[in-house]
Amino acid sequence: MNPRFSLTQRGRNALLAVLAGALLASGAAWRGLAAEAHPSATTASTVSTPIAHAIAGGRDSYADVVEVVSPTVVTVRAQGRARVSPTQLPFGDDDFFGQFFGNQGRGPRGQRQAPRTPRQNALGSGVVVTTDGYILTNNHVVDGADDVNVDFTDGQTLSAKIVGTDKASDLALLKVSGSNLKAIAIGNSDAVKVGDVVLAVGNPLNVGQTVTMGIISAKGRSTGVGDGSYEDFLQTDAPINHGNSGGALVNMKGELVGINSQILSESGGNIGIGFAIPANMAKHVMDDLRTKGKVTRAQLGVTVQGVTADMAQSLGLKQAGGAIISSVGDGSAAERGGLKRGDVIVSFNGQPVRDTNGLRNRVADAGPGSTADVAIIRDGGEKHLSIKLDEAGGERIARRGDGEERSSDKSALGVSVAPDKNGLVVEGVDPDGRAADAGIRAGDVIVEVNRQAVKSVDDLRAAIKKSSDKPTLLLISRNGNDVYLTVKPS
């Protein structure tokens, strides 16, 4: 025997003990495997089964809010004819080129025919605001439409009438024939705070009603897109896409706090920057359209600009903010109330003025004929003035669904104007109004009406009213040149 592998008796005993332990261990392991393969072969006392427990407290969900809001949000489908001008035809009226293109647009004998106007379809969303069928949506959803239908979540489709539109706020009011409809609760958008959780409900890209969640990212935003006259947007990162326009932005109580209106995106899709018209502004527009057929707003009659840090330092102000008056219209509410060029408006009816956009919206909402408390900084000191506001006139703010201007007189030219040292400067022109037909453009200054100088909106209205059924003669100053234009009677 090789001495390297020889064992003493004691060593043999130890080795046998180790081998016996290994055999016992392997047997136990085999029995364990067998028990897993055949549980019935073991007793209950040798098996341990883990039990999973659900988290107590119910689900973390917005389903209860959606259940209340969902039936009040509808899909709006609008159809209308696109406006085609002669310049959109390939070669206009040129008969020479027409020979080579089959004289398109001509009848069998060569007579010119009116071009066929293509139909355009628009898709958006809307919110039922009364149980008898009034629906808020965006003006750009139904602009130019002659046929509007509304799809409800229960599957029914109803024809809708356009009660009125307001381009300045991009809102429109529709009416369907119905009763006992589910209407949304309108909340107080002024109480909304940055960081509040909100849900956006609408029909994006025609995929069907969709709910998205986000927060209020900012307040008091102005984008300048579209008409841009009265903007006070709530900004949200709740995903909004094409088709969401006119839909609801709601808080966690299921209250309407905004009407979704715009997105900011280079691609055309959602990137987390969306804008909604505050519910308080929407309610004002809705109430005016229902009761008056038009939206009335107030004005001070001043031109203002924001106060920058450099301006604040120059004026000796403690901080930037407010609105500095650069001009005061003759005969305006501002002039009558004592406002002067160089005054800085720091509060309006007790609310701080942070920028020109906020000031304009507060003045507009105050209502014509109301008296406002205007706090100003003049010569380093604060002063309060009581000013009776004028109505923002000379502007076709709202129109009826049939295109008829709603005005108590014939002064509605379809322009928005502001007092200027030489007359009334045209700030905006309704493309469907009488002024546009006459060739009036934004930036023109109306100097005279029927050979009479005009310095205020009241002057303009009175002069046009005297025209009766005759064309109105306007003297316009444009780029330093004077030109006469005639406006046909309404």
Residue 170's alpha-carbon distances to 60, 231, 480, in angstroms, are 36, 9, 34
41 located within any domain: no
469 located within any domain: yes
More confident residue, 61 or 19: 61
pLDDT at 251 over 80: yes
Quick one: what percent of the chain has pLDDT higher than 70? 74
Buried b or exposed e, range 169-195, using 16+ CB within 10 angstroms = bbbbbbbbebeebebbebbebeebeee
pLDDT of residue 394: 40
Structural domains of the chain, count = 3
Summary mean pLDDT of the chain: 79
pLDDT of residue 338: 95
Residues 189-204: tens digit of each pLDDT? 999 999 999 999 999 9
What pTM does this model have?
0.63
Lowest mean pLDDT among 279-288, 344-353, 427-436: 427-436
302 and 172 within one domain: no
pLDDT of residue 357: 84
Arithmetic mean of pLDDT, 161-168: 93
Residue found under tokens 């159809």: 79
> What confidence tier does 84 reach under pLDDT thresholds 50, 70, 90?
very low
pLDDT at 409 over 60: no
Lowest mean pLDDT among 138-152, 274-288, 395-409: 395-409
pLDDT at 102 over 90: no
pLDDT of residue 311: 78
CATH number (domain holding residue 330):
2.30.42.10
pLDDT at 43 over 80: no
pLDDT of residue 261: 94
Report residue 128 as tokens: 């039922």
Arithmetic mean of pLDDT, 11-33: 50
307 and 290 within one domain: no
265 located within any domain: yes
Closest to 403 (Cα-Cα) out of 120, 145, 196, 230: 145
The last residue of a domain, from among 295, 311, 346 = 295
CB contact at 8 A, 203 and 209: yes
pLDDT at 248 over 80: yes
pLDDT of residue 149: 96
370 and 305 within one domain: yes
Lowest mean pLDDT among 20-24, 246-250, 267-271, 459-463: 20-24
The last residue of a domain, from among 280, 295, 310 = 295
pLDDT of residue 397: 33
pLDDT of residue 406: 30
More confident residue, 460 or 383: 383
pLDDT at 249 over 90: yes
Q: Which domain holds residue 383?
A: 298-391
263 located within any domain: yes
Arithmetic mean of pLDDT, 295-310: 87
422 and 276 within one domain: no
Residues 110-160: tens digit of each pLDDT? 554 445 556 678 999 999 999 999 999 999 999 989 899 999 999 999 999
48 located within any domain: no
286 and 164 within one domain: yes
235 located within any domain: yes
37 located within any domain: no
348 and 229 within one domain: no
315 and 219 within one domain: no
pLDDT at 285 over 60: yes
437 and 349 within one domain: no
> What confidence tier does 82 reach under pLDDT thresholds 50, 70, 90?
low
Quick one: what percent of the chain has pLDDT higher than 90? 43
CATH number (domain holding residue 255):
2.40.10.120
> What confidence tier does 217 reach under pLDDT thresholds 50, 70, 90?
very high
438 and 378 within one domain: no
Which residues, 6 or more positions from 330, have their beta carbon under 8 angstroms from its beta carbon?
419, 455, 456
239 and 223 within one domain: yes
> What confidence tier does 317 reach under pLDDT thresholds 50, 70, 90?
confident
Arithmetic mean of pLDDT, 380-388: 94
241 and 302 within one domain: no
pLDDT of residue 387: 96
The last residue of a domain, from among 336, 358, 391 = 391
Active-site annotation, residues: 140, 170, 245
3 located within any domain: no
Arithmetic mean of pLDDT, 425-436: 84
480 and 344 within one domain: no
Most confident of 88-97, 220-229, 352-361: 352-361
Arithmetic mean of pLDDT, 305-327: 83
More confident residue, 305 or 440: 440
Which residues, 6 or more positions from 150, have their beta carbon under 8 angstroms from its beta carbon?
74, 75, 76, 77, 126, 135, 157, 158, 159, 160, 174, 176
